[in-house]
């Protein structure tokens, strides 16, 4: 009896949960569906949901007319580039703070976090002027530099919380077995650190890919990543819903998939370890 | 415990990160501070001079500043209200046993990964368009007069879009906290005859307090700097109805080229963000000791 009630309850709750989840996801699904419509079908009222003639023409047009692939590769270059450079700078720092902490380690970490809280507009003017004078506006290098700096505190923090969980005892055990410092790092610490480094990498590519203040203000055409390219669809004369949908679907698909894989690390990364 | 040698090595390993971040923070910020005391417009080169607090006086006494400050607070407050209440309810729902829980979770967190320019344009055009948008069609199906969202309620429309983007974040963090709640504690309260509401307000909510505080503080930091969603939907308008502090400073610097005034605005924004940051750092810092 109690079991029947709990099953019925589970079905009811599941139905509500699925409905809510569907509504939340709907704008993304709608974008995906619209990307396969003709421009005429896209604005049709009443709207067609699934039963329309599916076409790939928008994807072809978006690439031909606006060189979509260049913006896509700009996004890849700047997001991946800034994350890797950030990791190269952050791994030694986080390593040192986790394995040989001093009294000041906590202060350094807190100070790093505080730089993340500096609002972008507070430094927009000087960064823009410096970039203009160094001819870094609309370049990959310039954008990578800025993205590296704004995500560096998060990278250090995430790595620190992961490294902190590696048990120090295991080092002593290895040392007793006669392992040298190099062997310690290569055979003992690195394998244990790699999962943490991988999730940090993933989360930061996502953050850099979606960054939409500096990418919009520091690029125009050559180095413009997808955030800036999609923004060009905001002009009223450029309202082509099916093409906007095709461009958007390609822009969010890779990051959505990465995001789904890294959802567990998301909480930890974005709360700086305050919620686990 | 650490020897002098490892201490030196540790310092060397930390040096690049510390030096770079120090430079990133100090150099532009001191330039902003310096510019904010100058009469400096890029359209009038060679006519820069020191003006003391004139830029601040002008910026703080301009009606656009006060409306931008109000808009910033409305935007942050509106999004926080929706995401905290919605996120808590959604987390309570997802914490129940559900068929296909994994997929439901994936669908719910998806909006967080959509880039701001995409979500803003998709909502503005395909959902909120007064004639061809899906909402207007739904309104007409129910024989209701469709709303011209961005003309009649521009700020509310932006709040809805931004709340959609941040709801997954709030849900995910509150859900994580919810799952760490002791099951026995809930059962004990149930056996003592506590109904669902007392259970929520006396057991669950106090347990979530910390997670909710973290959500509020982190979101506030990001929401104070909302920019792309405004740029691609309303461009700050109609008039200055959706111009927040970030957008106002952007307009003064990159559209009106008034470096001095924009810098003064930038310093004001930094001070406001710092007030929030102090609270957040205190909470994170406490956790570091535990």
| B1 — pLDDT class (breaks 50, 70, 90) | very low
Q: What is the mean pLDDT of residues A147-175?
A: 85
> The domain containing residue B170 runs over which residues?
17-289
Tell me which chain B residues have a C-beta less than 8 angstroms from the C-beta of A21: 103-104, 107-108
Q: How many CB pairs under 8 A join A and B?
A: 307
Nearest CA in chain A to B285: A110
Say if the Cβ atoms of A271 and B210 lie within 8 Å. Answer: no
Is B77 in a helix, a strand, or coil? helix
Least confident of A135-139, A270-274, B29-33: A270-274
Query: What average pLDDT is seen over chain B?
Result: 87
Least confident of A232-246, B197-211, B259-273: A232-246
Q: What is the mean pLDDT of residues A246-263?
A: 89
End-to-end CA gap in chain A: 38
Query: What average pLDDT is seen over chain A?
Result: 86
At A167 the pLDDT is 82
Percent of chain B with pLDDT over 90: 34
User: B127 in contact with A at a CB cutoff of 8 Å?
Assistant: yes
At A273 the pLDDT is 66
CATH (domain of B253): 1.10.3720.10
Identity of the residue in A30, A227, A266 whose CB atom sits nearest the CB atom of B228 = A227
User: B84 in contact with A at a CB cutoff of 8 Å?
Assistant: no
Other CB atoms within 10 Å distance of the CB of residue A39: 16
Q: What is the mean pLDDT of residues B5-27?
A: 87
Least confident of A90-99, A232-241, B14-23: A232-241
At A1 the pLDDT is 47
Is B14 in a helix, a strand, or coil? helix
Which residue did the predictor score with more confidence, A260 or B7?
A: A260
The yes-or-no verdict on residue B190 having pLDDT over 90 is no
Other CB atoms within 10 Å distance of the CB of residue A198: 14
Q: What is the mean pLDDT of residues A252-267?
A: 85
The yes-or-no verdict on residue B88 having pLDDT over 60 is yes
| A65 — pLDDT class (breaks 50, 70, 90) | confident
The yes-or-no verdict on residue A264 having pLDDT over 80 is no
At A5 the pLDDT is 67
Residue B64, Cβ density class (10 Å: 0-12 exposed, 13-18 middle, ≥19 buried): middle
Q: What is the mean pLDDT of residues A218-239?
A: 82
Which of A7, A94, A95, A121 is the best residue to mutate to test the B interface, defined by the most B CB atoms within 10 Å of its own CB?
A121
Q: Does B7 map to a domain?
A: no
Q: Does B6 map to a domain?
A: no
Q: What is the mean pLDDT of residues A87-91?
A: 94
Residue A273 near residue A199, CB atoms below 8 Å: no
Summarised one tens digit per residue, pLDDT across range A117-128 is 888 888 888 899
pTM of structure: 0.89
In terms of Cα–Cα distance, which of B171, B152, B165 is closest to B120? B165
Q: Taking a contact as any Cβ pair under 8 Å apart, which residues of chain A between 21 and 80 contact chain B?
A: 21-22, 24-25, 27-28, 30-31, 34, 42-47
Nearest CA in chain A to B34: A126
Q: What is the dihedral of CA A31, A36, A42, A46, to 10 degrees?
A: -90
| A236 — pLDDT class (breaks 50, 70, 90) | low
Say if the Cβ atoms of A47 and B10 lie within 8 Å. Answer: no
Which residue did the predictor score with more confidence, A47 or A175?
A: A47
At B91 the pLDDT is 94
User: A241 in contact with B at a CB cutoff of 8 Å?
Assistant: yes
Percent of chain A with pLDDT over 70: 96
Q: What is the mean pLDDT of residues B269-278?
A: 86
Q: Does B103 map to a domain?
A: yes
Tell me which chain A residues have a C-beta less than 8 angstroms from the C-beta of B113: 206, 210, 252, 255-256, 258-260
At B50 the pLDDT is 85
Identity of the residue in B90, B176, B276 whose CB atom sits nearest the CB atom of A275 = B176
Q: What is the mean pLDDT of residues A31-52?
A: 85
Number of domains within chain B = 1
Domain A70-270 fold is MetI-like fold (1.10.3720)
Tell me which chain A residues have a C-beta less than 8 angstroms from the C-beta of B138: none
Which residue did the predictor score with more confidence, A238 or B175?
A: B175
Nearest CA in chain A to B92: A17
The yes-or-no verdict on residue B74 having pLDDT over 50 is yes
Q: What is the mean pLDDT of residues A15-22?
A: 94
Say if the Cβ atoms of B231 and A43 lie within 8 Å. Answer: no
Distance from C-alpha of A217 to C-alpha of B46, rounded to nearest angstrom = 25
Domain ranges (residues) in chain A: 2-57, 70-270
Identity of the residue in A25, A120, A228 whose CB atom sits nearest the CB atom of B225 = A120
Task: Give the pair of three-digit tokens for residue B123.
Answer: 């909502």
Q: What is the mean pLDDT of residues A28-51?
A: 87
């Amino acid at each position: 009896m109690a079991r029947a009630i709990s099953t019925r309850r589970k079905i009811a709750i599941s139905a509500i949960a699925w409905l809510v989840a569907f509504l939340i996801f709907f704008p993304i699904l709608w974008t995906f569906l619209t990307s396969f419509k003709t421009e005429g079908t896209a604005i049709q009222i009443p709207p067609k949901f699934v039963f329309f003639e599916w076409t790939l023409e928008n994807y072809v047009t978006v690439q031909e007319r606006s060189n979509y692939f260049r913006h896509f590769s700009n996004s890849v270059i700047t997001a991946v580039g800034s994350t890797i450079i950030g990791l190269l700078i952050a791994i030694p720092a986080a390593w040192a703070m986790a394995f040989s902490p001093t009294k000041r380690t906590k202060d350094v970490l807190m100070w790093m976090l505080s730089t993340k809280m500096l609002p972008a507009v507070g430094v927009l003017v000087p960064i823009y002027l410096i970039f203009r004078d160094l001819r870094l506006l609309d370049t990959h290098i310039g954008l990578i530099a800025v993205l590296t700096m704004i995500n560096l505190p998060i990278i250090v923090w995430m790595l620190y919380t992961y490294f902190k969980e590696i048990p120090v005892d295991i080092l002593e055990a290895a040392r007793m077995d006669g392992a040298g410092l190099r062997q310690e790092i290569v055979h003992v610490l690195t394998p244990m650190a790699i999962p943490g480094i991988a999730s940090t990498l993933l989360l930061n590519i996502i953050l850099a890919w979606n960054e939409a203040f500096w990418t919009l203000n520091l690029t125009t055409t050559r180095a413009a990543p997808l955030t800036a390219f999609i923004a060009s669809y905001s002009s009223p004369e450029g309202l082509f819903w099916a093409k906007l949908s095709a461009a958007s679907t390609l822009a969010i698909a890779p990051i959505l998939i990465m995001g789904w894989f890294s959802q567990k690390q998301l909480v930890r990364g974005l709360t700086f370890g305050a919620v686990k | 415990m650490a020897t002098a040698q490892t201490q030196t090595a540790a310092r060397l390993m930390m040096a690049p990160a510390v030096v770079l971040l120090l430079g990133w923070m100090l150099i532009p910020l001191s330039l902003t501070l310096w510019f904010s005391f100058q009469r400096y417009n890029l359209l009038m080169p060679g006519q820069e001079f020191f003006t003391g607090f004139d830029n601040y006086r002008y910026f703080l006494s301009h009606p656009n500043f006060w409306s931008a400050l109000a808009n910033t607070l409305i935007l942050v407050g509106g999004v926080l209200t929706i995401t905290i209440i919605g996120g808590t309810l959604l987390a309570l729902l997802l914490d129940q046993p559900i068929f296909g829980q994994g997929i439901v979770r994936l669908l719910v967190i998806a909006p967080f990964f959509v880039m701001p320019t995409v979500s803003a344009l998709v909502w503005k055009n395909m959902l909120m368009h007064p004639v061809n948008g899906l909402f207007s069609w739904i309104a007409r199906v129910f024989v209701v007069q469709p709303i011209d969202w961005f003309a009649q309620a521009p700020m509310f429309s932006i709040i809805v879009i931004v709340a959609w983007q941040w709801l997954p974040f709030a849900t995910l963090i509150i859900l994580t906290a919810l799952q760490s709640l002791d099951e026995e504690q809930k059962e004990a309260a149930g056996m003592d005859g506590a109904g669902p509401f007392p259970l929520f307000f006396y057991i669950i909510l106090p347990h979530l307090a910390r997670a909710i505080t973290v959500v509020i503080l982190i979101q506030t930091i990001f929401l104070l700097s909302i920019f792309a969603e405004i740029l691609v939907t309303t461009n700050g308008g109609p008039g200055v109805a959706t111009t927040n502090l970030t957008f106002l400073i952007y307009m003064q610097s990159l559209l009106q080229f008034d470096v001095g005034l924009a810098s003064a605005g930038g310093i004001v924004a930094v001070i406001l963000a710092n007030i929030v940051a102090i609270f957040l750092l205190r909470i994170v810092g406490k956790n570091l000791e535990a």
